Structure 1
Amino acid sequence: MKRFVMVCGDKGGTGKSLMARALADRLRREQCEALMIDCDGEIGSLFQFHAKLDARGEPHVDQASGGVIPIRFTGTERERDQLLACVDHNNALVLADMPAASLTQLRQFDLDTGFFSELASRDYRATLVNVLSPFSASTRTVREMIELAGEGADYVVAINQWFGDQEDFFMWYGNAHNTPSSGLTMLHEVGGIEIALPRLQAGVLVAIDDLMLSFSDARTDARLTTPQRSRLHRWMQALDDELDEAAQLLGLALPARAQDAHDEP
């Protein structure tokens, strides 16, 4: 079955676009012919860092093959419809970086078009990826995400460790004064997977963004210092280990060690 992966959420500033960039980088390293979509259009970070460029260094007119298709999902009905039209390319994997408030927008889009049913009719299985900060406005979006698609999708929740460790996420995990989030309970009930988005040192990320590099390109770029490249390498390794836990839901190649464990009786 084909995969339609959407990195989404109603709360901005959680690290959603960082996760989308990291997934795109992993797919490029795997030489996966995934169709990538930035639903923030040409201003989105997925488009800025992974768009296909022409000989002049400008975005190529044809982004469908090896680039990033920019869609303004917050725009007109015709622009929103381009998200569903992407299934016509028939790629085995589609990765979409959705804009802020995307759960609300997807709910209306599904009412208008039967989005999730249409995906299923084209042999696509949706995966919704939600990146969490510790705040209640973020954690409660997991329940909203699962209620949006129900059994019509798979779910991955990424705990963004930029914001702290497990004790800081007490609105999600619960503590002596708080019960665990209802979203956490629902995630377990629907067979969703929780992973971590490891913390990348701020200075390293700033340097990468300043040079407009993908993570893989930055790993070997001499304009970064050796400590910066080393920290980036460690972060990429840690994140790959986390992504491996949800590889099947994300349409990623399953590493040999993970495949061996998966095949064990």
Structure 2
Amino acid sequence: MKRFVMVCGDKGGTGKSLMTRALADRVRREQRDALLIDGDGEVGNLFQFYARLDDKGEPVADQTEGGVVPIRFTGTERERDQLLTAVDLERPFILADLPAASLTQLKQFDGDTGFFAELARSGYRPTLVNVLSPFSSSTRTVREMIELVGNEADYVVAINQWFGDREDFFLWYGNANTAPNPGQAMLREFGGVEIALPKLQAGVLVAIDDLLLTFTDAREDTRLTTPQRSRLHRWMQALDAQLDEVTVYLGLSEHVR
């Protein structure tokens, strides 16, 4: 089964791009036949770090092979249509990093084009990945995400531990004074899964971003200190362990769900 994985949400600043970069890094490490799409265009994180470059270090014009295709999903109708045009390439795995407000945009796009029905006709099973912060503006998007596609997609919710531990996510898990978010029950009802996005020390991420390195390259780059590379290695191991739990949902497994 072909997979179309979209990291999406209506709330910005939750860690969506970090999650997509981590997924792209694993796809590259495993040398999978994949198409990567950055819905924020050439200014997006995925494009900045994983685009294919020429000998002068500039992005090549054609990014469909081994690069990142930039589209502005919040731009014109023609630009949004590129998300659907991607299926014509018939790649077994498509990964798209969609911008803030993407759930709202996806709903409109689906209404205009029948996007999810077209994915099914093209043999793609969509997976929507939602990265959560503890705030209500983030946690409530899980219900909105599932209501958008229902049983026609798979769902992965990633709890971004950079924001804190389980107690800090009381608007999601609930506590003595707060009921669990309805999105939790809905996630289980529709067969969705929850994983953790482990915390990466801020200084390590700053160093990687300053050098515009992929995670795999940064792990071996001596411009990072040994403690920085060691912490990155442990983070990648911890995240891989989480992704191993949901490989079928994310198109990282050869087995059909």
TM-score range (shorter-chain normalised) is over 0.9
TM-score by length of 1: 0.95
Aligned residue type for 1:92: P
Counterpart for residue 56 of structure 1 = 56
Residue type matched to 1:66 in 2? G
Structure 2 CA distance, aligned partners of 1:244 and 1:234? Answer: 15
Deviations 1:139-189 (A, max 9, x none): 000000000000110000000000000010000000000111010010000
Give the TM-score normalised by the residue count of structure 2.
Answer: 0.98
Establish whether residue 148 from structure 1 lines up as the match of residue 169 from structure 2: no
1:163-174 matches, within 5 Å, as 163-174=163-174
Partner in structure 2 of residue 35 of structure 1: 35
| Structure 1 portions without partners, runs of 5+ | none
1:135 aligns with 2:135: yes
Alignment partner of 1:203 is 2:166: no
CA contact (8 A) 1:35 1:64 kept: yes
CA RMSD of aligned residues (A): 1.1
> In 1, distance between residues paired with 2:77 and 2:136?
31
The Cα of 1:61 is off from its aligned counterpart by 0.9
* Letter of the structure 2 residue corresponding to residue 228 of structure 1: Q
Q: Give the AA of the match of 1:46.
A: L
Identical-residue share of aligned pairs (%):
75
* Aligned residue runs from structure 1 range 185-264, under 5 A: 185-253=185-253
8 Å Cα contact 1:30-1:253 kept in structure 2: no
SS state at 1:191 partner: coil
1:106 match: secondary structure: helix
Equivalent position of 1:102 in the other structure: 102
**Matched length:** 256
- The residue type equivalent to 1:48 in the other structure is Q
| Superposed structure 1 runs of 4+ greater than 2 Å apart | none
Amino acid of the residue matched to residue 74 of structure 1? T
In the TM superposition, what is the alpha-carbon distance from 1:55 to its structure 2 partner? 1.0
Residue 253 (structure 1) shift: 3.6
Q: CA deviation at 1:71?
A: 0.3
In structure 2, the residue corresponding to 1:250 is in which secondary structure? coil
